[in-house]
């Protein structure tokens, strides 16, 4: 009797939890959309901030975010993909080396984003950047040893590599062994098999991983707080040593540091909505690709 009640309530409460989570999601979305609705115009997307950041748009922040994820992708997608190929195709699953790498990947995905920020500051800026400056400009001029878009992107790449690895590995695992065996039987070497058979068959996984990584990179703020994001820049970044504006960082500074918080409330909401739209549509695309891919596999 009691057990039955327990069972019923388990079903009911678990259902309610789902409802609660989804309604929280929808509520946040609606609140942010309604708050920023009146500001969401074409001008808002294509104009720089004006009147001391109390009017105008967010164009430089959008450009900065896009540049950030592009430079980040150049580093994180190849490294992530190759690591996944190693883990799935070459490695001896039981060897210490493989387990070490697997553990490293898991750990990397759990490291707090702010620690990546510290790392970027300590490694890229203070060590690599300053080192480069010592070599290229011995007269003490500072070029690379300061926050800029390159170091911010590299820091972000470290953060997103595990996402690519996980996604690509899943796709690699789904490639049937028959295909590999067939290719090898025809006399192809292992590398040829991977290049011509395995990778083309897991392109969707690489794509999914890349999209998820880009979505994550576009939304994270903590790693770029002190590696390159700028409060306000009158110019778009034109070199790798320039700082940049960023959508997420823009939300943060506008809500806490703008000259008139109440007057810019709409801008804050609208910026948050634009950022949400980016990350949502990216992860939605990833979900759709993966769903189709899985369906293709099962059919």
Partner 1 sequence: MTEKEIAQKNSLRRKFRLSEFFAEYVIKSVAFLSFAMIILIFVFVFKETLPIFSPQQETKSNQEFLQSETYGEEPGSTSPEQQISEYSSLLSVKRDIADLDNLTGKEWQPVGEVPKYGLLPIIMGSLKVTLIAVFIGAPLAILAAIFSALFAPKKIKELIKPAVELLASFPSVVVGFFALVTLATFLQDMFGWTFRLNSFVGGLAMALAVIPIIYTVTEDAITAVPKYMKEASFALGANKWQTALFVILPAATPGVFAALLLGFGRAFGETMIVLMATGNAPLSSLNPFEPVRTLSATIGAEMAEVVFGDTHYTVLFLIGSLLFIVTFLINAIAEFYVRAKLMKRFRGE
Partner 2 sequence: MKKIILLLVIAALSFGFQSDNKVITVKGSDTMVILAQRWAEKYMQTHPEVTIQITGGGSGVGIAALINGSTDIAKASRPMKPSEREKLKQRYNSLGVEVKTAKDGLSIYVNDKNSVRELSIQQIKDIYTGKITNWKSLGGRDTKIIIYGRENSSGTYVYFKDNVLGGEDFTSKMQSMPGTSAVVNAVVKDVNSIGFGGAAFAKGITMVAVKKDANSKAFEPTEENIKNGNYPITRFLYLYLKTKPTGEVKKFIDWILSSEGQSIVSKVGYFPIR
237-266 positions binding partner 1, by CB under 8 A: 248-249, 251-252, 255-256, 265
202 phi-psi bin (left φ>0, alpha ψ -120 to 50, beta other): alpha
Determine which residue in the list 175, 222, 245, 267 makes contact with partner 1, applying CB under 8 A: 222
C-beta closer to partner 1: residue 144 or 252: 252
Q: Is residue 230 close enough to count as binding partner 2 by CB under 8 A? A: yes
Long-range contacts, stretch 82-88, CB < 8 angstroms, 24+ apart: 83/161, 83/165, 84/164, 84/165, 84/166, 84/168, 84/169, 84/172, 84/209, 85/168, 85/172, 85/194, 85/198, 85/199, 87/165, 87/169, 88/169, 88/172, 88/173
**Which range of residues in 24-32, 42-50, 171-179, 237-245 is near partner 1 by CB under 8 A?**
24-32
Geometric angle at alpha carbon 195, from 192 and 201, rounded to 5°? 125
**Any residues with CB less than 8 A from the CB of 202 and at least 6 apart, and which?**
168, 171, 172, 174, 175
Q: Is residue 142 close enough to count as binding partner 2 by CB under 8 A? A: yes
Give min distance, CB of 120 to partner 2, in A. Answer: 15
Determine which residue in the list 40, 55, 63, 101 makes contact with partner 1, applying CB under 8 A: 101
Q: Which of residues 6-35 bind partner 2 (CB under 8 A)?
A: none
Q: Is residue 206 close enough to count as binding partner 1 by CB under 8 A? A: no
C-beta closer to partner 1: residue 110 or 238: 110
Q: Is residue 142 close enough to count as binding partner 1 by CB under 8 A? A: no
Angle between helices 265-298 and 203-219 (to 10 degrees): 160
Q: Which of residues 47-106 bind partner 2 (CB under 8 A)?
A: 52-53, 67, 70-71, 73-74, 77
* Radius of gyration for the alpha carbons in the chain, expressed in angstroms and rounded: 23
Under a CB-based contact definition with an 8 Å cutoff, are residues 224 and 152 in contact? Answer: yes
Under a CB-based contact definition with an 8 Å cutoff, are residues 23 and 212 in contact? Answer: no
C-beta closer to partner 1: residue 39 or 249: 249
Q: Which of residues 70-99 bind partner 1 (CB under 8 A)?
A: 78-79, 82-83, 85-87, 90-91, 97
**Any residues with CB less than 8 A from the CB of 47 and at least 6 apart, and which?**
56, 57, 59
Q: Is residue 13 close enough to count as binding partner 1 by CB under 8 A? A: yes
Residue count, binding to partner 1 (CB under 8 A): 89
Q: Is residue 158 close enough to count as binding partner 1 by CB under 8 A? A: yes
Binding residues for partner 2, rule: CB under 8 A, are 52-53, 67, 70-71, 73-74, 77, 140-143, 145-147, 203, 230-240, 243, 252-253, 255-263
């Amino acid at each position: 009797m009691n057990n039955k009640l327990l069972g019923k309530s388990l079903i009911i409460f678990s259902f309610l939890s789902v409802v609660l989570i989804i309604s929280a999601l929808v509520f946040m979305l609606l609140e942010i959309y309604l708050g920023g609705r009146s500001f969401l115009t074409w001008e808002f997307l294509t104009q720089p901030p004006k009147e001391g950041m109390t009017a105008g748009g967010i164009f430089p922040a959008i450009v900065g975010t896009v540049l950030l994820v592009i430079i980040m992708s150049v580093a994180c997608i190849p490294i992530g993909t190759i690591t996944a190929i190693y883990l799935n195709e070459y490695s001896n699953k039981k060897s210490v080396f493989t387990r070490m790498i697997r553990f490293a990947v898991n750990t990397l995905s759990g490291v707090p984003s702010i620690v990546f920020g510290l790392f970027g500051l300590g490694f890229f800026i203070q060590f690599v950047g300053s080192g480069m400056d010592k070599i290229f400009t011995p007269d003490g001029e500072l070029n690379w040893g300061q926050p800029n878009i390159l170091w911010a992107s590299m820091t972000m790449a470290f953060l997103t590599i595990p996402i690519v690895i996980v996604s690509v590995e899943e796709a690699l695992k789904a490639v049937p062994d028959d295909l590999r065996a067939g290719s090898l039987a025809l006399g192809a070497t292992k590398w040829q098999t991977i290049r011509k058979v395995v990778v083309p068959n897991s392109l969707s996984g690489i794509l999914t991983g890349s999209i998820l990584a880009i979505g994550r990179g576009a939304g994270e703020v903590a790693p770029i707080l002190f590696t390159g994001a700028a409060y306000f820049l009158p110019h778009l970044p034109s070199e790798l040593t320039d700082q940049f504006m960023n959508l997420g960082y823009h939300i943060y500074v506008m809500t806490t540091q703008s000259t008139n918080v109440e007057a810019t409330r709409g801008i804050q909401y609208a910026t948050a909505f634009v950022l949400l739209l980016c990350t949502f549509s990216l992860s939605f695309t990833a979900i759709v690709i993966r769903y189709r891919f899985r369906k293709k596999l099962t059919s």
